[in-house]
């Protein structure tokens, strides 16, 4: 056939085959092709697919039947495809359209092609019968041209665009028919397999329903015969009804019965059956209605607490008060258990080794309750507290529910250990999940994600422990009653070692008090020079080491009884680790002794200052700070230097001295330090440096200072005074507004220390510095 020139209309998501009538939405290039066809080529144009990697080799010659707009207003055209054509090279033509040379394809039809066409018609009719498209079947029967029958595959929805493009680019009729026959047979095979699977599923469902009806009938027959369930089958309904006698709440009973109904309707092969059984077992194992009776003898309860722990009067008094109130309510017939606000949540905060964790078990024993410990250190998943949803594989209730189940009663003592070590990450914030647990006004309706039932925790006594209160979120801290354990005095440690630690370590070393004895002098030496801690853990370790050494000596033939006195400690434990060094550190001007609080309790902190020639105040105030100080402590140093400069005359400081570069250092630079309470210590160190008067070695101080010299209150007074006593200080300066806190300090500490309460930093400087030499000028050295 002859070659002709036609404008090209490219289509992207559509493949047009001969015989198809399509409507297209027109863009600028399509509109240009339509306009060119209507004006220059008798309404004919070439429709070709738009390919990403190449130009199409074949297209279809189509006639523009109609041009108009869709209902939405966009321009459109109706095209009727007539004949397949091979695309040649591009040529020029009128208008903005792209013109190409096209050569129509002469499609030869053989007898074999007619046989293939009849086979394809039978397959198409089979596909249409599955869809019940009877009108289309009639149209297929009327088709006789094999080429048209093959190209009718362009309407097949089960053929992909790529396959339809392959048909367009296959000019041989026989090959085209063979290809669509193979594709159609493949589609019919997949459809028959899908139908078979659907039939099998329906048959399985009908079988399951039939089995359920038969099981129900079998259960009815057993009931009439008076027979029980087969051996090995759990009678959940009977177990649920047995809970009613124990006082299970009505909503819990209703939820259990709903799940039992689901279980009875489910097949044993259903995965939901295992989930329901696990949930029922978990809920039924909870001690619904089981409560231990609290001891009403408050004197006996206090005796138990005193027998287990030395000191800790505040927390002991709180437990006794709790028992006394419950005993009076029981006597008067008032509600004792359950309800909003009836619980108690106590937070024991203090340094390690003071007995916080062991106190929880002692409290449970004094109250006659069950005890369970929940370790929260390092918990980062919110689901650890509130549980996982039942939809998750391997879902479990949270630690609170598991603690109740382990305790065996609904009113245990639950120790939440190391609550300040709870972390947070992408899985949630466990501290936020504890808000409801530790709120006495809300925990009577605590809801675990796994149980999805209201659990009454109002009768549970929660005792939380923490080392650093600042690390606990404020919202959580507000829900707990804070009881601070500030550490032990030296006399307390000796008493604890004599009455508690030594008997325990003697037993562990397989020794008796008749074989090895430790004098009080040796215990004092251990507490004062071998340990410097708020608690007694290190003291107990040293006792264990001494007793092991003693057991070794006895095993080698040394006679008993073996008495360990102060001179014997060096041979058993080595030289003392801590010796008083305050006098040595403060023997030169510019060094002052401050008091600080860490997570391990109170401690002494030395502030050192020195001066050297350098830039003056214009270069950062001429101040260098070292010792890994935090921002607040750096600000305190700048405030202290500014105060000394502005009050140089009152302090007897030569103003010229302060133009030198001042270096303030806090030793132990590897330890981060922060807080405002070192302000007065820095002022004292700077004045000592500027006047050449050393700070008295027996003096320690603490307090925040303002630019006007006012001494502001600080925290941790008790811990700081205990540290001052351990360090061998005899005088301490504390802020005036902290005077009420002295009531919490043990009497023996106040007797060993002379405590000065001051409101002006000038009073601290006057009292802390050594007196000036007689007749000497107070100038900078």
The pLDDT tens digits for 239-248 are: 888 887 777 8
Number of domains in the chain: 5
Highest-confidence range of 65-69, 208-212, 261-265, 656-660, by mean pLDDT? 65-69
Q: Decide if 445 is inside a domain.
A: yes
Q: Decide if 208 is inside a domain.
A: no
Q: Is residue 119 scored above 70 in pLDDT?
A: yes
Question: For the purposes of burial, counting CB atoms within 10 Å of the CB of 686, is it exposed (0-12), middle (13-18) or buried (19 or more)?
Answer: buried
Nearest to 432 by CA among 470, 392, 472: 472
- The DSSP call for residue 753 is S
Q: Is residue 470 scored above 80 in pLDDT?
A: yes
Q: Decide if 122 is inside a domain.
A: no
Tell me the three state secondary structure of residue 213: helix
Residue 665 and residue 588 share a domain: yes
Domain holding 561, by residue range, is 490-573
Q: Is residue 162 scored above 80 in pLDDT?
A: yes
Residue 558 and residue 460 share a domain: no
Q: Decide if 164 is inside a domain.
A: no
Q: Is residue 197 scored above 60 in pLDDT?
A: yes
Tell me the three state secondary structure of residue 721: helix
Arithmetic mean of pLDDT over the chain:
84
Confidence of residue 765 (pLDDT cuts 50, 70, 90): very high
Helix axes 173-225, 161-168, angle to 10 degrees: 160
Query: Pseudo-torsion of CA 354, 358, 364, 368, nearest 10°?
Result: -110
Element (H, E) at 5: strand 4-11
Q: Is residue 275 scored above 70 in pLDDT?
A: yes
Buried b (16+ CB within 10 A) or exposed e, 394-409: ebbbbbbbbbbebbeb
CA distances from 357 to 309, 399, 419, 471, 770 (A): 11, 18, 12, 18, 46
d(CA 149, CA 114) in angstroms, rounded, equals 10
Residue with tokens 């250990």: 417
Q: Is residue 740 scored above 60 in pLDDT?
A: yes
Pairing state between β 75-91 and 601-612: unpaired
Q: Decide if 145 is inside a domain.
A: no
Q: Decide if 170 is inside a domain.
A: no
| Mean pLDDT across 353-375 | 88
Tell me the three state secondary structure of residue 514: coil
Q: Which residues neighbour 610 within 8 Å (Cβ) at sequence distance 6 or greater?
A: 590, 662, 663, 665, 689
Residue 663 and residue 589 share a domain: yes
Q: Is residue 18 scored above 70 in pLDDT?
A: yes
The pLDDT tens digits for 474-497 are: 888 998 888 888 778 888 888 889
Q: Is residue 669 scored above 80 in pLDDT?
A: no
H helix runs in 429-536, sequence order: 430-437, 474-477, 490-496, 502-508, 520-525
Tell me the three state secondary structure of residue 103: strand
Tell me the three state secondary structure of residue 216: helix
Residue 378 and residue 262 share a domain: no
| Residues belonging to the active site | 677, 720
Single out the residue in 453, 484, 515 at which a domain terminates: 484
- What's the pLDDT score for residue 222? 66
Confidence of residue 415 (pLDDT cuts 50, 70, 90): very high
Q: Is residue 231 scored above 50 in pLDDT?
A: no
Residue with tokens 């001891």: 295
The encoded tokens of residue 511 equal: 């020794």
The pLDDT tens digits for 544-562 are: 999 999 999 899 888 888 8
Residue 480 and residue 539 share a domain: no
| Mean pLDDT across 729-733 | 92
Residue 742 and residue 639 share a domain: yes
Find how far residue 292's CA is from the centre of its chain.
34
Annotated binding-site residue? 355: yes
Element (H, E) at 88: strand 75-91
Residue 676 and residue 630 share a domain: yes
Confidence of residue 464 (pLDDT cuts 50, 70, 90): very high
Q: Is residue 34 scored above 70 in pLDDT?
A: yes
Tell me the three state secondary structure of residue 450: coil
Q: Is residue 79 scored above 50 in pLDDT?
A: yes
Residue 749 and residue 656 share a domain: yes
d(CA 696, CA 587) in angstroms, rounded, equals 8
Annotated binding-site residue? 602: no
Residue 472 and residue 345 share a domain: yes
Annotated binding-site residue? 353: yes
Q: Which residues neighbour 537 within 8 Å (Cβ) at sequence distance 6 or greater?
A: 352, 353
Pairing state between β 704-705 and 711-712: antiparallel
Q: Decide if 19 is inside a domain.
A: yes
CATH value at residue 508: 1.10.8.60
CATH value at residue 752: 3.30.230.10
Q: How many CB atoms lie within 10 A of CB 70?
A: 11
- What's the pLDDT score for residue 343? 67
Residue 440 and residue 364 share a domain: yes
The pLDDT tens digits for 35-47 are: 888 887 678 888 8
Cβ pair 683, 704 in contact under 8 A? no
Element (H, E) at 161: helix 161-168
What order do you get walking across the sheet with 731-735 strand by strand?
623-626, 661-665, 601-612, 591-598, 699-701, 731-735, 754-758
CA distances from 307 to 312, 318, 499, 767 (A): 12, 17, 9, 44
Longest alpha-carbon distance in the chain:
137
The pLDDT tens digits for 312-348 are: 888 888 888 888 887 787 777 776 555 565 667 889 9
Residue with tokens 């998943």: 381
Residues in the chain: 781
CA distances from 280 to 200, 236, 285, 398 (A): 32, 8, 8, 16
Pairing state between β 601-612 and 661-665: antiparallel
Residue with tokens 């030594």: 502
| Mean pLDDT across 712-736 | 89
- What's the pLDDT score for residue 619? 42
Pairing state between β 591-598 and 601-612: antiparallel
Q: Decide if 201 is inside a domain.
A: no
Single out the residue in 516, 551, 573 at which a domain terminates: 573
CA distances from 60 to 45, 68, 80, 100, 168 (A): 8, 22, 10, 13, 8
Cβ pair 411, 457 in contact under 8 A? no
Residue with tokens 């009403």: 296
Annotated binding-site residue? 621: no
d(CA 606, CA 688) in angstroms, rounded, equals 13
d(CA 453, CA 247) in angstroms, rounded, equals 15
Residue 561, preceding bond cis, omega within 30 degrees? yes
Q: Is residue 732 scored above 90 in pLDDT?
A: yes
Cβ pair 77, 16 in contact under 8 A? no
Residue 540 and residue 479 share a domain: no
- Whether the full predicted model's pTM is greater than 0.75, yes or no, is no
Residue 739 and residue 658 share a domain: yes
Single out the residue in 62, 80, 104 at which a domain terminates: 104
């Amino acid at each position: 056939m002859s070659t002709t020139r036609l404008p090209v209309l490219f289509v992207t998501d559509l493949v047009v085959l001969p015989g198809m009538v399509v409507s297209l939405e027109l863009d600028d290039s399509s509109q240009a092709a339509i306009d060119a066809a209507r004006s220059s080529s008798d309404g004919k144009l070439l429709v070709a697919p738009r390919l990403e990697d190449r130009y199409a080799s074949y297209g279809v010659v189509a006639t523009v039947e109609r041009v108009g707009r869709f209902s939405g207003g966009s321009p459109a055209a109706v095209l009727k495809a007539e004949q397949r054509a091979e695309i040649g090279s591009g040529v020029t033509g009128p208008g903005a359209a792209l013109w190409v040379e096209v050569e129509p394809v002469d499609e030869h039809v053989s007898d074999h092609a007619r046989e293939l066409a009849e086979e394809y018609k039978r397959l198409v009719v089979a596909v249409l019968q599955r869809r019940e498209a009877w009108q289309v079947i009639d149209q297929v029967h009327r088709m006789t041209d094999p080429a048209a029958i093959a190209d009718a595959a362009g309407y097949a929805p089960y053929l992909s665009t790529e396959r339809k493009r392959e048909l367009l680019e296959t000019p041989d009729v026989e090959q085209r028919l063979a290809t669509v026959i193979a594709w159609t047979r493949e589609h019919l095979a997949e459809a028959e397999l899908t139908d078979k699977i659907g039939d099998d599923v329906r048959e399985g469902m009908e079988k399951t329903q039939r089995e359920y009806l038969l099981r129900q009938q079998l259960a009815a027959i057993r009931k009439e015969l008076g027979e029980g369930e087969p051996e090995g089958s759990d009678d959940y309904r009977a177990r649920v009804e047995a809970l009613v006698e124990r006082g299970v709440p009505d909503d819990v009973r209703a939820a259990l019965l709903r799940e039992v109904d689901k279980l009875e309707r489910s097949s044993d092969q259903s995965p939901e059956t295992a989930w329901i059984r696990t949930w029922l077992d978990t809920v039924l194992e909870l001690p619904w209605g089981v409560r231990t009776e609290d001891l009403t003898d408050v004197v006996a309860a206090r005796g138990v607490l005193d027998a287990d722990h030395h000191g800790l009067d505040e927390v002991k008094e709180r437990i006794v008060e709790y028992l006394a109130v419950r005993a009076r309510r029981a006597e008067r017939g008032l509600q004792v258990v359950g309800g909003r606000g009836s619980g108690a949540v106590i937070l024991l905060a203090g340094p390690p080794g003071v007995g916080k964790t062991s106190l929880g078990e002692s409290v449970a024993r004094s109250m006659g309750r069950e005890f369970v410990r929940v370790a929260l250190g390092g918990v980062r998943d919110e689901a650890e507290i509130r549980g996982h949803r039942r939809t998750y594989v391997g879902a479990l209730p949270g630690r609170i529910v598991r603690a109740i189940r382990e305790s065996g009663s609904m009113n245990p003592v639950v120790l939440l250990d190391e609550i300040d070590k709870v972390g947070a990450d992408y899985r949630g914030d466990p501290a936020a999940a504890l808000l409801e647990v530790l709120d006495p006004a809300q925990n009577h309706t605590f809801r675990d994600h796994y149980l999805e039932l209201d659990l009454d925790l109002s009768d549970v006594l929660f005792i939380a422990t923490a080392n650093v209160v600042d690390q606990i979120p404020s919202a959580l801290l507000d829900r707990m009653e804070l009881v601070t354990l500030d550490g032990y005095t030296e006399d307390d440690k000796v008493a604890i070692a004599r009455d508690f630690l030594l008997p325990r370590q003697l037993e562990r070393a397989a020794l008796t008090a008749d074989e090895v004895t430790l004098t009080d002098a040796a215990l004092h030496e251990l507490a004062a020079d071998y340990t410097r801690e708020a608690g007694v853990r290190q003291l107990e370790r040293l006792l264990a080491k001494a007793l092991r050494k003693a057991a070794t000596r006895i095993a080698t033939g040394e006679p008993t009884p073996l008495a360990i006195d102060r001179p014997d400690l060096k041979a058993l434990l080595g030289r003392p680790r801590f010796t008083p060094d305050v006098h040595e550190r403060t023997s030169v001007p510019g060094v002052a002794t401050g008091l600080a609080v860490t997570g391990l309790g109170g401690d002494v902190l030395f502030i050192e200052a020195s001066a050297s020639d350098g830039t003056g105040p214009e270069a950062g105030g001429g101040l260098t700070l070292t010792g890994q100080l935090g921002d607040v402590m750096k600000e305190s140093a700048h405030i202290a230097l500014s105060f000394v400069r502005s009050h140089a005359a009152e302090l007897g400081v030569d103003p010229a001295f302060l133009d030198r570069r001042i270096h303030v250092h806090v030793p132990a630079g590897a330890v981060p330090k922060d807080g405002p309470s070192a302000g007065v210590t820095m002022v004292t160190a700077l004045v000592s440096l500027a006047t050449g008067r050393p700070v008295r070695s027996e003096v320690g101080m603490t307090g925040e200072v303002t630019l006007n010299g006012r001494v502001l209150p600080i925290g941790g007074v008790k811990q700081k005074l205990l540290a001052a006593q351990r360090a061998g200080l005899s005088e301490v300066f504390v802020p005036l507004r902290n005077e009420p806190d002295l009531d919490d300090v043990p009497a023996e500490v106040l007797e060993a220390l002379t405590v000065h309460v001051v409101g002006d930093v000038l009073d601290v400087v006057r009292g802390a510095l050594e007196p000036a030499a007689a007749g000497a000028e107070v100038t900078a050295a």
